Structure 1
Amino acid sequence: MQLSFADALPPESTPVDGEGAFSLERRFDAPFVAALAMREKQVQQSYRPIISIHKWFARRPGSVFRSLILSEFAEKELREAYWAGNRFDAVVADPFMGGGTTVFESLRVGASAVGCDVNPMAYWLVRQAVDPIDLDAFRVAGRQVFDELNSRIGELYKTACTSCAQEADVKYFLWVKTCACPGCGKQTSLFPGYRVAESVRHPKEVFTCPACDILQEFGKGEEKACAKCGLDLSQGNTRRGKTSCLDCGTEFAHLEELGSPPEHRLFAIEYQCPHCYASTPGRQFKSPDADDHRKLRQAADMRESGAGDAVAGLALDGLALEDAIPDDAIPEGDETNRLHRWGYSRYRELFSSRQQLGLGILAGIIRKVEDRRMRHALATVFSDFLRYQNLLCRYDTYALKCQDIFSVHGYPVGLVACENNLPGIPRVGSGSFIHFVEKFAKAKKYAQAPYETTQSRGAKKTVPTPGESIEAAVVAAEPHPADRAAWLNCSPSQVLDLRDESLDAVFTDPPYFDNVQYAELMDFCFVWLRRILADDDEAFRRASTRTAYELTGNRTLGRGLENFTSGLSEVFVRMSAAMKRGAPFAFTYHHNDPAAYVPLVVAMLDAGFTCTAVLPAPAEMAASLHIAGTNSSILDSVFVCRKREYAAAAVSLPAPRGSVAAAVARDVASMKAAGYACTAGDLACLEAGHVAGEAVRTLANGEWDPRAPVGARMAAVRAAVETIADRKVAARKVAARRVADGKVVDGKVGAQ
């Protein structure tokens, strides 16, 4: 049915009509956007290199937010405007800027941006993406830091080639956790499996024998038994939390026997010899020799004493070694409690002695860089590459590379750890300092001249967007539309000092109640980075990124659904007060349970909004670790809101047509037109989104009291959602009966 807002129309309101009204709702081209977004999410850093500035979580596709902005402001149709350079005078805000997608896409099209996030790491990475930089000077500065770092600790990452005996560069050191056997008291290695490399990127499979401490290679189909002692290498000695001692055979729960923190043993090295690698089939592996173990002791001694040539002079205008290495305790939390269960109590324990030494020296070197802009850029590189320089990294036996700590959104504690070469080997491997310098440079090059990527005959083709740039002046107060500046804040959005009726649009991706624990994860980087930046930026003078204003549920900290709802409402209300009369407030969200939308419906109603559209847009990659093999959705619902009095004054509001089922059917058809077949999880999420949108419209047309207790407001929304959801279920039952009775029209169930 066509929804009416006549009952909410104030007598003094001016009618809204014309081609420019409700542009976003009319012009958003769902099939076009879906095709773009699905391609982007396959290799997001290729389509949007700007995201390589620094790790952030659950980034939404830039193509979706570019399309939302262009649908609202461009005069051309989206399919034409998308590939062109654009320039609009507007102020666009994002109260939950996270990884900065809204800020980047707004600045690209010439608008000024207001971005806000309570997390200092989010604030910092967006600032670094936006702040202009001389790329040639940055590359020079990065190379100078690399050369100094390499001169101090490079020898610790050398090994003897087993083929030619000459010095070679180590790519990765592989470590295994150990603990004392409660039966015999001897240290036993905790191997979930003995395989080091699969026979995909290496001609043979590589296994380690824990009894003989040697690496051996086997062809496909060969029996996996140690040639020296006969040990079966086909499976490890640890499984489902239990370990069998390799000496006495005692089986025990290893988590109960581990030390605090767990001990590790070096058992394998992958290296690359400059003299014979080119003639060697596959990769080069070796068991550590006496000199490798000597270098380990040398690094531990230097770390412990803070002495030696590598450390000499480090504190002059920089950081003393001990001051550069964080000694912060790991606080309790939903994610950090996992570290506690494994015996880790301080962040520095997540790093080997050699890693602590190298990272401490590198932090001191960067702190000495005189040019502020270069120092900040290199500090950002340092922070980002930490995720590849710790004892929670794992070695991918298929791809033969290091997996970073945040390849899943948590603190995964594996039994086998991968230690990366810290300075790095230029043009070899990944995850080292020199590689992240170049990654940062590529991201900034894109920021200076962004482009779009399309497919032409199966190959990618870049399309320049002339005149667009992500870099812009970073200012200390709210900018005006023509300023083309960015005002970035590390503060709660509900206290942001905004001018009334100054915002032309708000586009955001608000947190989920059961979202990733951003603060708990980002503290891993923050505790290091604040030792470099505390003198330069107030946001890094606190002990943690955690704050009471963070809007995620957290069982450990006692943050429940009412807390989340209240905080979300305060932000929506603050943004609404600063928005122009007809400005859109659009946000992305997905969940397959309609009850999960209750806080959002409350926030929309408290802010005086009604929902003028719910649009489908891909948000995730189907093969993502978080999606594959589950019933999860890759689709977001994009909620488009306008102020109720503006929508009520519309002469021809493009309100949703028909039932929830009809709306979902239109979404499914749009995705099919983009080449995507919706899954059961997608259907559940789309339905839940449309139920929430209908609940907003239903309650917006009645009496809503934003001053009522939050529990009462949530109850009212929950009742409305349940009523609408029950109607949907009833409609399904009617449809099922019609099918059973044979009452089907043109192969489809009759109208619901």
Structure 2
Amino acid sequence: MNRLGQLSLEFASPAGDPTGRDLPLPIDSTFDTSFADKMARLELYNKHHYRPNTYLHKWWARRCGSTFRLILKHLVTDPTRRHYYAPGGLEGKIILDPMMGGGTTLHEAIRLGASVVGVDIDPIPVLQARATLADLPLAALETAFAAFCDQMAQALAPLFTTHCPHCQADVPLRYLLYGQRRSCACGPVILVDSLVLRYEAGLPAICLCPACHQVVAANTACTCAPAGLPPLVEKAQTHCPTCSESYREDLAVPFYARYVPLVVVGSCQADGCSRPGLFYAAPTAADLALLAAADEARQKLDFGPAGAFAIASGPKSRDLVSRGVGSYLELFSSRQLLYLAQAAALLPQFPPLVQLNLALLVSTSLEFNSLLCGYKGARRGERPGAIRHTFSYHAYAFPYTALENNPLYPEQASGTLAKLFHDRIRRARAWAQQPRERQLTARRRFTTLHGELDSGVEVAAPAGLQDGPRRFLVRQGSAVALDLPDASVDYIVTDPPYFDSVQYSDLAAFFRVWLARLLPAGADWTYDLAGSAVDPHLNGDGQYTPVLSGIFAECRRVLRPAGGRFIFTFHHWNPKGWAALTLALRRAGFVLLNRYVVHSENPVSVHIANLRSLTHDAILVLAPAGHVPPPDWTRPGRVDQSDSRQFCADCAALLGWLLNSDLAEAAVEATWQAALS
């Protein structure tokens, strides 16, 4: 056993055994961690470019598809098809992911020819898997999207119109920048992230005048007369220099009404325009009249019971509640709500699978179309059209300069329907028909894997999984009660929710309230999150172990006892998380055959930077106890907490030792507490 404790066991060539004896699989004894690390380091920075067909809708904490492909390739019994770049290899196998989240396992397994089962308690992963795995012709989606956009534009384009300040031509609005209204003893002020709007090479910066709110060049002194407007103040100035009070936010005002329109941004290409291209301008009376018309129309919108949009104080949503936001409706401008209402009215005309894809596209567009979006163009080197989207920090953040995007902008600009359709449907569907993998060569070229498809045929019941290759069954519900026969699954590969981790189900409510309007019959929108092991706010930290135990017991029931493998990735600093995992696995009757440590997180990711975050995962390879003798794990003398890779390796080795031990459960918990204290 080397320093990482990776077992190098020599097994016979894997093969099926009609006697029911458990013969070894390649992953039991070997895994190319060096290759996995190199691929992951490339993929981590732009996962959506490497696996576009899994990114139709926003989800969090996705693991690298290349890592899971490599895991699955180590389950291939035919050595001639085990190579990473060899197509297929898992035909005839059934693979389950009981906590599928972003759907990585399902997509990677179906590419290799397997039939797959995916389960999640949250409806968004289920809907996304159903949409992205279905073999729906791109032409049908192109036609429907064009019709949908035409109808949306006919109804709403006039509201998203402005005019060029240089030639007065009418042009589509690109976006509108707002400042946040606050006050002190001296009166109201408007806070912005920066008075600078854009830096241009060789030209003076474009700025806002803090007195008259006009857009001016930085090298030009504004000669404005006193206009009686609230002064513009950059966010770095937190207190009034006159009265010394901090600037207060009026929490009694609806969130959307706390913002004041400041800058209209558009692009003019009209013939004869003296200054064609991108422009920044203060809103005119016509711009303000459109906003007033949208505000009036907002009052007539009916999205159903107001309580359906009420914000529960969850682990992440409590940040909204603390800012006086009581409804998800408040997070959107009036034009954005009209956009959602029109989409909900138009979607029922389309066939179910097309409707599903378009609804998910509209829903995911909200990440770029809410008043929680910020402006990224004020710093040197940043593109002026880039949007700091709603979940840039895997949490709710509140910009001082809010950006109201135009989702119907006719070009492929950031966060528009046109851009999202191109990236997440058109490009994704083309990739699904000819999946590619990056080569680890000097030029890092891609290889097309001829014969693979990232799509399949949905079945309504487990029996249908046997009807041919690449069948898929997706279910919404808790994995503590899987609707599958005993011993019906060959392998289980997943990435379980972590104890006390980021609360994704809580964040996902931002989208769920709208998907329930866009797809009212598409899912169970009243499901009980108490069945989720990821949300201690709802089920309490003490319920994590019982819930995980129930899930693992079901995994043990549906897994084929001979040759079945339960494989998942895991990392955690918290001893309670490792203790819960140990107890759940032991109660379910699993033993650890091997473990491997791979790179899993981007260290510069904004939600983990400067935190005590692990950048590696332990891949845990388990089998049902009694069907294969477990290795004789050696208890680590100490768990190295100075190195992410070694920490994961030591914890996994301790897990293996504890699964083999007969320690009482209290002693298991005490062992983890002592090891990670």
TM-score, length-scaled by structure 2:
0.88
- Aligned residue runs from structure 1 range 300-315, under 5 A: 300-305=295-300
Structure 1 residue 331, shift from structure 2 partner: 1.3
The whole-number CA distance in structure 2 between the counterparts of 1:22 and 1:33 is 18
Of the candidates 78, 82, 85, which is equivalent to residue 82 of structure 1? 85
Query: Residue in 2 aligned with 1:552?
Result: 534
Query: Residue in 1 aligned with 2:320?
Result: 339
Pair 1:686 & 2:645 matched = yes
SS of the residue 2:601 aligns to:
coil
Which letter does structure 2 place at the counterpart of 1:575? C
Of the candidates 122, 129, 137, which is equivalent to residue 126 of structure 1? 129
| Distance 1:656-1:164 versus aligned 2 partners, 3 A rule | farther
The whole-number CA distance in structure 1 between the counterparts of 2:608 and 2:276 is 36
Judge which range, 92-101 or 629-638, deviates more: 629-638
Query: Residue in 1 aligned with 2:264?
Result: 269
Pair 1:294 & 2:275 matched = no
The whole-number CA distance in structure 1 between the counterparts of 2:138 and 2:259 is 40
The whole-number CA distance in structure 1 between the counterparts of 2:329 and 2:601 is 33
The whole-number CA distance in structure 2 between the counterparts of 1:519 and 1:49 is 23
Which letter does structure 2 place at the counterpart of 1:582? G
| Distance 1:582-1:229 versus aligned 2 partners, 3 A rule | farther
Deviations 1:289-328 (A, max 9, x none): 111111111222233346xxxxxxxxxxxxxx55599962
Deviations 1:147-173 (A, max 9, x none): 111111112222211222212222110
CA contact (8 A) 1:209 1:215 kept: yes
Pair 1:254 & 2:248 matched = yes
Which letter does structure 2 place at the counterpart of 1:404? H
The whole-number CA distance in structure 2 between the counterparts of 1:189 and 1:342 is 17
The whole-number CA distance in structure 1 between the counterparts of 2:215 and 2:606 is 31
The whole-number CA distance in structure 1 between the counterparts of 2:332 and 2:360 is 19
- State the identity as a percent: 27
Of the candidates 367, 380, 391, which is equivalent to residue 371 of structure 2? 391
Query: Residue in 2 aligned with 1:501?
Result: 487
The whole-number CA distance in structure 2 between the counterparts of 1:335 and 1:403 is 18
Which letter does structure 2 place at the counterpart of 1:621? N
Of the candidates 456, 460, 473, which is equivalent to residue 457 of structure 2? 473
The whole-number CA distance in structure 1 between the counterparts of 2:483 and 2:652 is 30
Deviations 1:620-678 (A, max 9, x none): 22221123344422211111111222232x7xx6x6689578x98xxxxxxxxxxxxxx
Query: Residue in 1 aligned with 2:211?
Result: 211
Which letter does structure 1 place at the counterpart of 2:233? N
SS of the residue 2:499 aligns to:
coil
CA contact (8 A) 1:324 1:528 kept: no
Structure 1 residue 225, shift from structure 2 partner: 6.6
| Distance 1:645-1:226 versus aligned 2 partners, 3 A rule | farther
Judge which range, 575-584 or 625-634, deviates more: 625-634
- Aligned residue runs from structure 1 range 712-723, under 5 A: 713=665, 715-721=666-672
Query: Residue in 2 aligned with 1:420?
Result: 405
Query: Residue in 2 aligned with 1:596?
Result: 577
The whole-number CA distance in structure 2 between the counterparts of 1:657 and 1:216 is 70
Deviations 1:210-259 (A, max 9, x none): 321111222xxx6x97554799xxx97355794438xx756234136662
Of the candidates 401, 415, 422, which is equivalent to residue 431 of structure 1? 415
- Aligned residue runs from structure 1 range 95-174, under 5 A: 95-174=98-177
| Distance 1:276-1:564 versus aligned 2 partners, 3 A rule | farther
Query: Residue in 2 aligned with 1:244?
Result: 240
CA contact (8 A) 1:172 1:418 kept: yes
SS of the residue 1:493 aligns to:
coil
CA contact (8 A) 1:95 1:116 kept: yes
SS of the residue 1:53 aligns to:
coil
Judge which range, 20-29 or 236-245, deviates more: 236-245
The whole-number CA distance in structure 2 between the counterparts of 1:411 and 1:504 is 40
- Aligned residue runs from structure 1 range 627-642, under 5 A: 627-642=608-623
| Distance 1:87-1:257 versus aligned 2 partners, 3 A rule | closer
May I ask how many residue pairs the two structures share in their alignment? Answer: 651
Query: Residue in 2 aligned with 1:34?
Result: 37
Pair 1:442 & 2:418 matched = no
Pair 1:464 & 2:448 matched = yes
TM-score, length-scaled by structure 1:
0.80
Unaligned runs of 5+ in 1: 6-13, 307-320, 665-679, 705-711, 727-752
Which letter does structure 1 place at the counterpart of 2:329? R
The whole-number CA distance in structure 1 between the counterparts of 2:165 and 2:577 is 58
| Distance 1:546-1:171 versus aligned 2 partners, 3 A rule | farther
CA contact (8 A) 2:316 2:506 kept: yes
The whole-number CA distance in structure 1 between the counterparts of 2:556 and 2:453 is 28
Structure 1 residue 422, shift from structure 2 partner: 2.1
CA contact (8 A) 1:612 1:656 kept: no
Structure 1 residue 338, shift from structure 2 partner: 0.9
Which letter does structure 2 place at the counterpart of 1:639? L
Structure 1 residue 411, shift from structure 2 partner: 1.4
CA contact (8 A) 1:601 1:692 kept: no
Larger radius of gyration: 1
Of the candidates 50, 53, 56, which is equivalent to residue 53 of structure 1? 56
Pair 1:577 & 2:557 matched = yes
The whole-number CA distance in structure 1 between the counterparts of 2:353 and 2:274 is 44
Query: Residue in 1 aligned with 2:191?
Result: 190
SS of the residue 1:198 aligns to:
strand
Query: Residue in 2 aligned with 1:697?
Result: 656
The whole-number CA distance in structure 2 between the counterparts of 1:590 and 1:539 is 31
